Amino acid sequence: MKTADFDFDLPSELIALRPAPERDHARLLVVHQDGETEHRLFPDIRDYLECGDLLILNNTKVMPVRLIGSKPSGGKVDMILVKENQSGVWEVLCRGHYAGPVSLRDGIEAELLCEDSRASGGEKKKCLRFLNREARDIGELLERCGSMPLPPYIKRLPDEEDRERYQTVYAERIGSIAAPTAGLHFTDEVLNGFSEKGVIIRKLTLHVGPGTFKPIKAEDLQRHAMQSEYFEIAAPVLSEIAEVKKSGKRVVTVGTTTTRALEGFLSKAYQAAGNRDGTVRGYTDIFIHPGYQFRVADALLTNFHLPRSTPLMLASAFGGFEKVMRAYGEAISMGYRFFSYGDAMLIL
């Protein structure tokens, strides 16, 4: 398949720029195996899971890694910290060609560096080097100076509401630069309703990095390479998956990140990073697109994704390309809200 096959026209007014008034006040498009669709509200998701089904969540926690600094000229520099390459030096996502001094809040000084493109596969890599010793405590610095890394199509500055709402209610393990957005709709009440029904709820961790959202430049999907993302899966979760599938019940994955962690591990598309304390750790660069044979997921909860994006390709691989793209057209015609703060789709 070609990247262009996953293109579609989306009216700008359907891009959700703010979360719904309440977490679970989202619409839910249910796509059945025969292609039939239902239009429900998110709390109705409990109607589609049965006692003994296994619901798996990604408990990663988003770091407030967006920093806005000032150049000596007074101009602004908008940066997102990606990973620490060495003590006090962080790889960053940053538009423009500026390199030089950057001043942050509370007297924090830094320097934006631009590496030689030949050292990074032809793409220039930018790094931010903190000059203050107190800036080495990155967690404390981000709490003071950082904001949530909202996607670029949300053309506004993050605010205090985003600190709460661009985070799942079950977020525990800090390390992501983007939210696992399918989980944003869950409330404690919805989760408790599943437990009361006998649905098993378990968690894993995949820290979302820029690879999930990296634009696909190659027209041929086979030429696109995903960037690795770190994951952890406890051994008991893997055992329960096997038991649930053996019993004839379903494994329901919440989001493409949860799905990639599980499928990456069981497809052996990962680099091991230790297996101590009964927990599998690794980095997966699995790229799931139509033609992939799923090993774990029996149902998928996901949001509505960007055109030409790898999460859309994963959803299409799971539900079937024509069926999913047809459902997207139906969602657009009925005014569903799209992308991170938008509505949800359950593919059965």
**Bridge partner list, 346:** 30, 301
Name the fold adopted by 3-62+161-347: QueA-like (3.40.1780)
C-alpha 236/C-alpha 21 separation (Å) is 37
> pLDDT category, 87, cuts 50, 70, 90?
confident
pLDDT (average), residues 146-167: 95
Task: Name the least confident of 7-11, 142-146, 185-189.
Answer: 142-146
Residue 313 pLDDT > 50: yes
Percent of the chain having pLDDT more than 90? 82
Residue 229 pLDDT > 60: yes
C-alpha 326/C-alpha 202 separation (Å) is 31
Task: Return the amino acid letter for 89.
Answer: V
> pLDDT category, 211, cuts 50, 70, 90?
confident
Characterize the bridge pairing of strands 89-94 and 126-130: antiparallel
pLDDT (average), residues 249-273: 97
State the DSSP code for 18. Answer: S
3 state DSSP class of 30 = strand
pLDDT at 122: 52
Report pTM: 0.94
**Cα–Cα distances in angstroms (integers) from residue 269 to residues 154, 229, 235, 302, in the given order:** 32, 11, 18, 22
Residue 118 pLDDT > 70: no
pLDDT at 139: 86
> pLDDT category, 128, cuts 50, 70, 90?
very high
pLDDT at 201: 98
Task: Please check whether residue 86 is in contact with residue 127, taking contact to mean a CB–CB distance below 8 angstroms.
Answer: no
> pLDDT category, 123, cuts 50, 70, 90?
low
Backbone φ and ψ for 251, nearest 5 degrees, come out as: -100, 120
CATH 2.40.10.240 intervals, the chain: 66-146
CATH 3.40.1780.10 intervals, the chain: 3-62+161-347
pLDDT at 120: 47
What CATH code is assigned to 66-146? 2.40.10.240
> pLDDT category, 342, cuts 50, 70, 90?
very high
Average pLDDT, the chain: 93
**Cα–Cα distances in angstroms (integers) from residue 34 to residues 28, 82, 300, 334, in the given order:** 18, 41, 15, 20
Percent of the chain having pLDDT more than 70? 97
Vertex 178 angle, CA 176 and 181, to 5°: 115
pLDDT at 276: 76
Nearest to 102 by CA among 145, 61, 68: 68
pLDDT at 311: 96
> pLDDT category, 66, cuts 50, 70, 90?
very high
More confident residue, 193 or 211: 193
Residue 76 pLDDT > 50: yes
